Amino acid sequence: MDKIKAFINNKIVKIVAWVILALDVVLLILGGTSVAEIGKGVELVAGIISAVALFVAFIASLVNKGK
């Protein structure tokens, strides 16, 4: 378990995760917001959920820095 925590807390792993998550959010929002695709809504909802998850992760990282 300690090896997993050490891997997840690695600075490079965190940076790569943030970059991948940010790209995911941008691509889902851009790919899902055309007028024709809003009716389907799946990509838009996934983009919104990813954006909220990114925001929550950012706030959690700020809170954990203060400890």
pLDDT tens per residue, range 9-64: 788 878 888 888 778 777 777 776 554 554 566 677 777 888 888 888 887 787 77
The whole domain housing 21 covers 15-65
Q: Is 54 domain-assigned?
A: yes
Residue with tokens 């983009």: 47
Please tell me the predicted confidence (pLDDT) of residue 7: 78
CB 19 within 8 A of CB 51: no
pLDDT: which is higher, 27 or 1: 27
Judge whether 47 lies within some domain.
Answer: yes
Q: Does residue 4 belong to any structural domain of this protein?
A: no
Tell me the pLDDT band of 66, cut-offs 50, 70 and 90. Answer: low
Query: Are the CB atoms for 57 and 64 separated by under 8 Å?
Result: no
Tell me the two tokens of residue 12.
Answer: 């490079």
Please identify which residue in the block is written with the tokens 């851009």. 30
Tell me, yes or no, if the pTM score tops 0.85. no
Predicted pLDDT of residue 34:
53
Q: How many domains does the chain have?
A: 1
